[in-house]
Structure 1
Amino acid sequence: MEQYEPERLSAAQIAAMRRSLTSGRGALTRRSLLRASGMGALAIGGLGTLSACGIPPAQREGDAAAASDDHSAEEKQVNFSNWTEYMDIGEDKKSRPTLEAFTKRTGISVKYTEDINDNVEFFGKIKPQMAAGQDTGRDLIIVTDWLAARIIRLGWAQRLDASNLPHAFANLSAQFRTPDWDPGRAYSYPWTGIPTVIAYNSRATGGRKVDSVTQLLDDPALKGRVSFLSEMRDTIGMTLLDQGKDPASFTDADYDAAINRLQKGVDKKQIRRFTGNDYTADLDKGDIAACVAWAGDIIQLQAGNPDIKYAIPAAGYITSSDNMLVPAKARHKTNAEKLMDYYYEPPVAARLAAFINFVCPVDGVRDELARIDEKMAANTLILPDREMAARSHSFRSLSTKEETAYEEKFAKLIGA
């Protein structure tokens, strides 16, 4: 079988790659809306109004998902919806090398569409068709973990055929294998991981390291120069960890304690603001000295500013993921599974990781990534080592009632 061989990229190509990820509307949209929260869903009547819209009760295995007819054998195609700036591109800025190699190998053509700009917006787009048991026109979609969990519970994702996913089954990193919303990955496989860490500008901190939420909230030298994320799961998750609580099993009382602790930081003006990815400009300039941040942003900032540092708190860090799903009634399930599996081959996974700079969920890519860029291969924000992976924690799935209550409290905290 012909294998995909990633080429060694020149320094100029790598610099151009990073510019494409950090400038322009596409990059801003990808990072700023990546973690669209339940708060946004509630605000527009999205996830919070499912029962009122006559949508069937949540189920692990809905009839709609089980009854799909697969036309993969006679229709050699797959329709793939993804986020912007989330796929490798060629030097011509138009070609998609890994997708083209997949088509050359398998004869399966890929209609690749960057039509996901926000989880809530995309869910609103496909919800009417999925609720009606209709084909969305998409065979493969990528959504953030909380929305993947909701789609699976509603019975709107197809159970995957393990026989079509040998590389995925064998190469999936241990830290991604057993999310509470899809144990054993029966319905999904991660496209990438999204670590939440502590970041700081060493020039703005006078050379001092910042490596805990406690420092962010209590260090008087940082007063008014601290930011947290406007994504509830990241900010509350990191605060829970700092308080010695497990984000995978916290109680209502634990959540309220985290809210109260952050509220004190707001009241005494320790926290400057809550942000999307727009913290990056202030961190780069030093107006924000330290913050809770997304690792992909930090990798990109470090490429142009040696003062940007990051730290993994001793208490641990939050990891979430964007995930591949096959929607109910998709026409080309087997073809979609073959494409999913293809991205778990180490040479292909390495090429993708080199372009998107988030955590690669595929074991065995280090040597392949080193052939492209040795520094990337050594970066534990892209390829976590065993120690770092062991310190990662996932925010547990929420019931609809919890999501509504928690997001209302968080919205009040951040002034949304």
Structure 2
Amino acid sequence: MTSRLVKLLLVSWIMIGCAAPPPPPASPPPALLRILNWDTYIDPTSLDAFTGETGIAIVYHTYSNNEELYNLLTTANEPYDLVIVSDILVDRLIREQRLAVLNRGRIPNLANLDPAFNRIASDPVNRFCVPYLWGVLGFGYRQSAQRQPITSWDDVFDPARSNRVVMIDDPRFGLGLALIKLEYSPNTSDPSAIGAARDWLRTHAGRIIRFAGDDGQTFLANGEADVVIEWSGDILQLASIDPDIRFEIPAEGAIFAADNMCVLANAANHAVAEQFINFLLTGEHGAALANKTCYISPNRAAFDRLDNELQHLIQRYQALEQEGRLFRLVDVDSATYELYRAAWAEVRR
């Protein structure tokens, strides 16, 4: 062996011996859950408890109305996992294949759902969604500012009262209430009925000072409005700290609606989203959610833990539905929805 060869071998051995060890395998990224929900519609302590129990961090965003939600789901780059969806939008999202099929084996607490509130017309067996909370759309007002209680639309727009009204900004909900007032179905596809609802609202445009997203209650709280058309839980949350605030269901009838927990088809953390759904379906956390938001829980394991007022409201809402005074919206075809959108644009003009 020549001296040159020996030198080459020695250099090779030294290089092999001095080479850095291979890096350890990369740790998997920490689990993360991205949630999109209505404003003022969660118990923050439940989010903290979930993270504390599982180590899973939560990124939590909110939206103001169904149109904003749909735009976020179809155009935004934010990769959400779990979204809280109104029942009138569930059918459309299923039809467009934007929702994932749930793995029921990972959600054993589905057994806690009360059949009376586990009703999603387009998803009756919870293949895609699970009921989150229920509410009713009605009047919020300050009792001390009214000569008599407000129980009907005639009271809201009574010429003897100078009510400043804030209307919920949503074509289906806003026009739906007007349709009920005029004794039409809030799910009608009849252009003349939709036009009549539009015209009725426009005759009272001078009283409607603002169209609000999911924050109408704030205008009542700060004195900018006398009556707000808003969801029950949002008004009852305000009433819990201000006993002068009252919520009333319109005598003519109202819209009763569910929101639902759904996992998006493109969710990066499908199993984690189902883990969170199962977490909220426990009696403890289901009750905490309802008591904090003042909405009705579909979770019968939570009923005994609900505040007395919520237990009373459950009974009242069920009675009103049996009387035919509460209506649920259903999805309509795209042409009909455009009629609602066009009519609403004229109401807001």
Q: TM-score range by the shorter chain?
A: 0.7 to 0.9
Residues 172, 344 of structure 1: 8 Å contact kept:
no
Task: Supply the AA of the counterpart residue of 1:325.
Answer: C
Alignment of 1:54-93 (within 5 A): 77=31, 79-83=33-37, 86-90=41-45
**Runs of 5+ consecutive residues of structure 2 not aligned to the other structure:** 1-27
| TM-aligned CA deviation for residue 113 of structure 1 | 0.9
Instruction: State the secondary structure of the residue aligned to 1:314.
Output: coil
Task: Supply the AA of the counterpart residue of 1:97.
Answer: A
Partner of 1:233: 172
Partner of 2:99: 157
Picking from 105, 116, 125, the partner of 1:174 is: 116
| TM-aligned CA deviation for residue 261 of structure 1 | 1.3
Whole-Å separation in 2 of the counterparts to 1:285 and 1:160: 42
Partner of 2:150: 210
Picking from 284, 291, 298, the partner of 1:354 is: 291
| TM-aligned CA deviation for residue 350 of structure 1 | 0.6
- The alpha-carbon distance between structure 1 residues 327 and 230, as it changes in their structure 2 partners (threshold 3 A), is closer
Instruction: State the secondary structure of the residue aligned to 1:397.
Output: coil
Residues 88, 98 of structure 1: 8 Å contact kept:
no
Task: Supply the AA of the counterpart residue of 1:190.
Answer: P
Whole-Å separation in 2 of the counterparts to 1:257 and 1:284: 32
**RMSD across aligned positions (CA):** 3.4
Instruction: State the secondary structure of the residue aligned to 1:203.
Output: helix
| TM-aligned CA deviation for residue 328 of structure 1 | 1.7
Partner of 1:34: none
Whole-Å separation in 2 of the counterparts to 1:412 and 1:313: 24
Q: Deviations over 1:320-347 (max 9, x none)?
A: 3332222224355444334313322222
2:237 aligned with 1:300: yes
Instruction: State the secondary structure of the residue aligned to 2:286.
Output: helix
Task: Supply the AA of the counterpart residue of 1:127.
Answer: T
2:140 aligned with 1:193: no
Residues 78, 336 of structure 1: 8 Å contact kept:
no
Task: Supply the AA of the counterpart residue of 2:94.
Answer: I
Partner of 2:83: 141
Whole-Å separation in 2 of the counterparts to 1:161 and 1:278: 34
| TM-aligned CA deviation for residue 309 of structure 1 | 1.4
Bigger Rg, structure 1 or 2: 2
Picking from 318, 326, 340, the partner of 1:386 is: 318
- The alpha-carbon distance between structure 1 residues 342 and 368, as it changes in their structure 2 partners (threshold 3 A), is same
**Runs of 5+ consecutive residues of structure 1 not aligned to the other structure:** 1-73, 104-108, 131-135
2:317 aligned with 1:317: no
Whole-Å separation in 2 of the counterparts to 1:376 and 1:271: 31
| TM-aligned CA deviation for residue 290 of structure 1 | 2.9
- The alpha-carbon distance between structure 1 residues 154 and 367, as it changes in their structure 2 partners (threshold 3 A), is same
- The alpha-carbon distance between structure 1 residues 155 and 348, as it changes in their structure 2 partners (threshold 3 A), is same
Residues 76, 335 of structure 1: 8 Å contact kept:
no
| TM-aligned CA deviation for residue 145 of structure 1 | 3.7
Whole-Å separation in 1 of the counterparts to 2:228 and 2:42: 28
Whole-Å separation in 2 of the counterparts to 1:175 and 1:254: 30
- The alpha-carbon distance between structure 1 residues 346 and 76, as it changes in their structure 2 partners (threshold 3 A), is farther
Task: Supply the AA of the counterpart residue of 2:48.
Answer: R
Residues 248, 396 of structure 1: 8 Å contact kept:
yes
| TM-aligned CA deviation for residue 410 of structure 1 | 0.7
Identity of aligned residues (%): 24
Q: Deviations over 1:52-77 (max 9, x none)?
A: xxxxxxxxxxxxxxxxxxxxxx9995
TM-score normalised by structure 1 residue count: 0.65
TM-score normalised by structure 2 residue count: 0.76
| TM-aligned CA deviation for residue 385 of structure 1 | 5.0
Task: Supply the AA of the counterpart residue of 1:188.
Answer: C
| TM-aligned CA deviation for residue 175 of structure 1 | 4.0
- The alpha-carbon distance between structure 1 residues 281 and 348, as it changes in their structure 2 partners (threshold 3 A), is closer
